[in-house]
Homo-oligomer: A and B are copies of this chain.
Amino acid sequence: MARIVMKFGGTSVGDCERIKNVARRVKAEVDRGNEVAVVVSAMSGVTNQLVDYCKQIAPLHDAREYDTVVATGEQVTIGLLAMALQEIGVTARSWMGWQIPIRTDGAHGKARIESIDTTELERRMAEGEVAVVAGFQGVGPGNRVATLGRGGSDTSAVAIAAAVKADRCDIYTDVDGVYTTDPRIVAKAKKLDKITYEEMLELASLGAKVLQTRSVEMAMKYRVRVQVLSSFVDAPGTLVCDEDEIVEKELVSGIAYSRDEAKITLVRVADRPGVAASIFGPLTDANVNVDMIVQNVSEDGKHTDMTFTLAKSDLDRAIKVLNEKKDELHYERLVPDSNVVKISVIGMGMRSHAGVAQKMFKTLAEKSINIQVISTSEIKVSVLIAEEYTELALRALHTAYGLDTH
């Protein structure tokens, strides 16, 4: 007997037939003798409709009232799924955030979970009752409904799994696992059986949209074993787990890419102490998140070029801020570029093996792909290249690191 938390997203509960299908999957887990809690999202499309109502009523609305409105989506799903389970003979009960309670801070719309009281939940699970829990929501200060932000249901599932000390948290989604890279681009991409928290975190934050970054952080913190698998195909997925659980370690586990990148170069900035602070200070104030930064070696000892990357959606705002500060910053020209892509090679093996970065640079050079910016961390190497080379670079690197399926 194991204790399992299962999580189903919006597509998996998109209509009543699909909810019945989810109920059958949950029943199968119960029939195996497991104790089960299920976390569900709103039926697909519902949250968008609710958000649209809020925008129609008031463009700048009170976050507490927004949460009251959008939290209803998950409430509908838990009631329907509990009914569907009972209909096929499974004892089940629905739970909203305030009923458990899942306590959050007061950051409505993007609240963080502070505590979960699982006393009643665990008592009932031990008696064989399936707990059907609304994802994405908790209860904040003053007994107000609070939501965790878009995609927060993954985080809810991992948090519940941590709180009830589940043996596994199964995240059912529309893909059947985590791949070495995007299979829509690289046909030879292969599904990973296992991946470490650290690698998954890099993948998630680098654009692989399988799991929400916060949920992976939480899984890593509380050592929750998370399985990503398909709600439509009956097959094992990818287990996100501790390094110790992985016997066959690959040097490189995956290659991620993100097209949501832009680059700004400030030409001939004064090369003096404090210049970086005077550039990035105003950007931080304007809520622009800068990622990679390169400062060229000064040729004349007085001027240098400064290049950095940021989210494409922040580009216009950043240009506006830097134009306003032009007199102060004394740069000659500002050169924006949004036709770029960030390619990242990720692997725990990098920590102990030299040459991973070198192989990346060599492979790209062989395809005559120019690297614009480089950034490295303990377990990843990222490069910025022209967007048009995305597919070419991904395929070449996938082969070079020996990840292709046979």
Enumerate chain A interface residues (CB-CB to B < 8 A): 16, 19-20, 50, 53-54, 56-58, 61-62, 64-69, 71-72, 75-76, 78-80, 82-84, 86-87, 93-94, 96, 98-99, 143-144
User: Which of B56, B61, B78, B86 meets A58, CB within 8 Å?
Assistant: B86
For A17, give the chain B residue with the smallest CB separation.
B56
Copies of this polypeptide in the complex = 2
Kindly state the separation between the CA atoms of A144 and B84 in the bound complex, as whole angstroms.
Answer: 18
B83 contacts A58, C-beta separation under 8 Å = yes
A-B contact sample (4 more), CB < 8 A, given A68-B78, A69-B79, A99-B143: A65-B83, A67-B79, A68-B94, A72-B72
B143 contacts A56, C-beta separation under 8 Å = no
Closest Cβ of chain B: how far from A126's Cβ, in Å? 18
B87 contacts A58, C-beta separation under 8 Å = yes
Closest Cβ of chain B: how far from A335's Cβ, in Å? 42
User: Which of B79, B87, B143 meets A68, CB within 8 Å?
Assistant: B79
A62 contacts B82, C-beta separation under 8 Å = yes
Kindly state the separation between the CA atoms of A64 and B87 in the bound complex, as whole angstroms.
Answer: 14
The 10 closest A-B pairs by CB, nearest first: A69-B79, A68-B79, A72-B72, A58-B87, A16-B56, A65-B79, A61-B83, A65-B82, A58-B83, A57-B83
For A88, give the chain B residue with the smallest CB separation.
B58
A75 contacts B75, C-beta separation under 8 Å = yes
B57 contacts A80, C-beta separation under 8 Å = yes
